[in-house]
């Protein structure tokens, strides 16, 4: 008797997985110091998933009850023909929300197309408002181009836009309030993220680490913050706060200082087709092998995803702020 596929993905800790982050490329036009090395070796093109294969993965997940898909990279908007993929995914019947994380460099030319393609929300990385410092942190980025992209996104009318800022001591901790004021002036949100200990980077993470508590105290001295409670609906990692005189929200993502694993509702798929069950662990399943099998069907892919839920760990191990336990870089992880 044939076994029916479940309607929802449930892991062995009774957490429902209803959110997947799909990487469409490991390449990026920036080289942010906390994300990757300056000289990177990227995945050979034959080893990355085709756009059709990524669409198959998106379809499989939505048929298993996943309502939210985030497209990530590297920088997702530099992949050739990615707008056609976005349009396809945006039309999936069972998808509730399509969102994108971007560095903002391509938004001037793509913002309207993304909105028309079904993207509802954007996360845009912005770590500095000082052009020289921004260039140093990103190694290749142009601040004016990114700000113009942010403004183009605001004009396009997305449901919500959030800035993501990674604060590093000795680099940009003096810009916390400037970044908050930038977000307030544009009536958008901002989240401050503790640096993720992924990959071998050039700086000493233990010396550069800036905790959410430190940042929240600094922001609170200028703008009293009111907690909005547990993460909004999606069981996401950000703890949000409101300000009485602004619609902008301040979020804090704290993988070190405030472990949020008990709420985890997500998995990641790398551009080479590895289904990562946890950001901070190497548990993975090779979906590319299944997609390229001669007897591939969507159902075989779905069963591989269902079976993988038994490998999802209870928590990550980001307690060490120094040497990383995970050597893959963030651009390999898919956000």
Q: What whole-number distance in Å separates Cα of residue 188 and Cα of residue 246?
A: 10
Asked if the structure places residue 4 within a domain, the reply is no
* Domain count across the chain: 1
The model carries a pTM of 0.88
Q: What is the rounded CA–CA span in Å between residue 50 and residue 7? A: 27
Q: Which of 64, 65, 66 is nearest to 22 (CA)?
A: 66
Which tokens hold the place of 309? 């839920």
Residue with tokens 């087709």: 273
Per DSSP, 42 falls in state P
Does residue 8 sit within a domain? no
For residue range 254-277, list pLDDT tens digits in order: 876 556 667 789 999 999 999 999
139: CATH: 3.20.20.70
Residue 5 lies in a domain: no
For residue 91, give Cα distances in angstroms to 2, 81, 87, 242: 30, 16, 7, 33
pLDDT at 328 (0 to 100): 42
Please report whether residue 1 resides in a domain: no
Core vs surface per residue 86-106: b (16+ CB within 10 A) or e? bebbbebeebeebbbbbbbbb
The rounded distance, in Å, linking the Cα atoms of 275 and 23 is 10
- Inside any domain, residue 7: no
What is the side-by-side order of every strand in the sheet holding 97-102?
225-227, 239-243, 246-253, 189-193, 160-166, 119-125, 97-102, 68-72, 19-23, 266-269, 274-276, 284-286
Q: Say what the pLDDT of residue 38 is.
A: 67
C-beta separation of 31 from 193 below 8 A: no
- Could you give the 3-state DSSP secondary structure of residue 220? helix
Contacts of 85 (CB under 8 A, 6+ apart): 24, 51, 54, 55, 71
pLDDT at 111: 98
Whether residue 3 lies inside any domain: the answer is no
71 with 98: CB under 8 angstroms? Answer: yes
**Any domain includes 274:** yes
Is residue 11, in this structure, part of any structural domain at all?
Answer: no
Q: How many Å apart are CA 333 and CA 223, to the nearest integer? A: 34
How far is it, in rounded angstroms, from Cα 288 to Cα 49?
7
Domain span holding position 276: 18-333
Where the chain has pLDDT below 70, the residues are 1, 36-39, 196-207, 230-236, 256-261, 280-282, 315-335
Nearest by Cα to 54 from 32, 30, 76: 76
């Amino acid at each position: 008797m044939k076994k029916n596929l479940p309607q929802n993905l449930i892991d062995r800790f009774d957490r429902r997985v209803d959110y997947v982050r799909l990487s469409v490329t490991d390449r990026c036009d920036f080289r942010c110091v906390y994300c990757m090395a300056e000289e990177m070796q990227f995945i050979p093109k034959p080893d990355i998933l085709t756009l059709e294969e990524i669409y198959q993965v998106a379809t499989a997940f939505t048929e298993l009850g996943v309502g939210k898909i985030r497209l990530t990279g590297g920088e997702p908007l530099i992949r050739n023909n990615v707008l056609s993929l976005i349009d396809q995914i945006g039309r999936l019947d069972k998808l509730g929300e399509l969102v994108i994380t971007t560095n903002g460099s391509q938004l001037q030319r793509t913002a309207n197309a993304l909105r028309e393609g079904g993207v509802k929300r954007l996360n845009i990385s912005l770590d500095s408002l000082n052009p020289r410092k921004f260039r140093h942190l990103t190694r290749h980025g142009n601040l004016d181009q990114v700000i113009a992209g942010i403004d183009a996104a605001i004009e396009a009318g997305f449901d919500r836009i959030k800035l993501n800022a990674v604060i590093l001591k000795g680099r940009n901790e003096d810009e916390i309030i400037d970044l908050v004021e930038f977000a307030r002036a544009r009536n958008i949100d901002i989240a401050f993220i503790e640096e993720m200990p992924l990959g071998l980077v050039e700086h000493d993470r233990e010396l550069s680490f800036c905790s959410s508590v430190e940042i929240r105290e600094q922001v609170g001295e200028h703008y009293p913050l009111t907690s909005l409670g547990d993460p909004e609906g999606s069981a996401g990692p950000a703890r949000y706060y409101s300000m009485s005189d602004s619609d902008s929200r301040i979020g804090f993502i704290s993988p070190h200082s405030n472990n949020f694993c008990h709420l985890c509702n997500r998995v990641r798929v790398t551009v080479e087709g590895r289904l990562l069950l946890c950001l901070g662990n190497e548990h993975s399943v090779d979906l590319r092998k299944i997609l390229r099998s001669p007897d591939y069907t969507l159902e075989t892919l779905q069963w591989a995803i269902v079976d993988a839920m038994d490998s999802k760990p209870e928590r990550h191990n980001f307690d060490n702020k120094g040497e990383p336990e995970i050597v893959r870089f963030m651009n390999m992880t898919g956000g």
